[in-house]
Structure 1
Amino acid sequence: MEIVDFFLGSALNAVDAKGRVSLPSDFRSIIDRRARAAAAAGNTLDEKTISLGEHEAHPCLQAFDATYTSILFKQLQRRVEGMDGVDAMMALDDAQADAFGAMSPVSFDAGGRMVLSPLLRAIAGITDLAFFVGAGQTFQIWNPQRYLETQSDKKRNCRNLEFLLAERGGKA
């Protein structure tokens, strides 16, 4: 299934002591539209669950809905096909274990409330605020201060985050 709805924009949401945070409504709308498109194509997806885990390259969490899972698998296949001198099946198995084994299914309710486990919060350094960043087919969840420190070359998103932090009356 080709994805035609993308995660756009950013949001800054509070995280409580138990790790509860709200998935931005724009992101929930994308997940819902993708699930409806999949249903129309004959595929039933859980529209209230996302996959969430450590990002492969950045100090944040990566998240996606079920429609992206097959795309990720195909990307892993292509990555392995480009390797020379390796057992393709073993390399694909290892790549899948690394990518999918690092993800956890996380459910959210109708209001978008979900719980970030202590492990997920520790991986991303998330405490009282979570910065959600649309990344097209997926989205990321950041500790706001970590985003500003490590992604300073992303001027537009840094300005957005600084504005959102100022609206809350503080810094990350």
Structure 2
Amino acid sequence: MGLFLSTYVNKVDKKGRVSVPAPFRSALVGGGGGPTEVVIFRSLQAQALDACPIEYLEQLSAALDDPNTPDDYRDLIETTVFGGSVRLPIDPEGRIIIPDEFLQFAGISESVSFVGRRKTFQVWDPEAFAAHEKASRDTARSNNISLSTILAKTGGLAKAAP
């Protein structure tokens, strides 16, 4: 499973199809062979859709088997993520058809922003994503959050030193 990086904006065609960006298709399979599907579900935190390879949900499922996971937390994830997920086939041209109820949830009509989030990606209405990104940057500035502060707090700089 590869990393999902960057942001891409693609049009939704008249048949409701949208092209998954080529780098995301490569990340869905970790570089070997062409991906055949992507799993999407409504985000728990934003007016957007979360998307990932099935392997990511298999990892999440295994993590939920941990006996220290509270039952109510497990139930929440099983109901909202697993119960609300759909597997979307990727056609030979790299396109998917996102179900109408998902498009409505995310407020998507003519264009889609694909936003890389490391092991997953999100699907947004481009204007909604622009507002979300601005708010995120404003929060980072007001809380003095930077890559170096994150690495320093996690000990990442010490680990990376030769």
TM-score surpassing 0.5? yes
Counterpart code for 1:98: T
Aligned-residue offset at 1:65:
0.7
Distance 1:82 1:33 in 2: 29
Identify the residue that residue 17 of structure 1 maps to in structure 2: 14
Map 1:41-120 to 2 at 5 A: 47-77=35-65, 81-83=68-70, 88=71, 92-120=74-102
The answer to whether the 8 A contact 1:130-1:141 is kept is: yes
Percent identity of paired positions between Structure 1 and Structure 2: 26
Counterpart code for 1:48: T
The answer to whether the 8 A contact 2:26-2:35 is kept is: no
97-106 vs 54-63, which deviates more? 97-106
* Distance change (3 Å), C-alpha of 1:32 and 1:19: same
90-99 vs 119-128, which deviates more? 90-99
Map 1:134-145 to 2 at 5 A: 134-145=116-127
* Corresponding residue SS for 1:152: helix
* Corresponding residue SS for 1:18: coil
Identify the residue that residue 33 of structure 1 maps to in structure 2: 30
The answer to whether the 8 A contact 1:19-1:121 is kept is: no
Identify the residue that residue 108 of structure 2 maps to in structure 1: 126
* Distance change (3 Å), C-alpha of 1:59 and 1:94: closer
Distance 1:101 1:15 in 2: 26
The alignment yields a C-alpha RMSD, in angstroms, of 2.3
**Structure 2 unaligned residues grouped into runs of 5+:** 138-162
**Structure 1 unaligned residues grouped into runs of 5+:** 37-45, 156-172
Query: How many pairs were matched up?
Result: 137
Give the TM-score taking structure 1 as reference length. Answer: 0.70
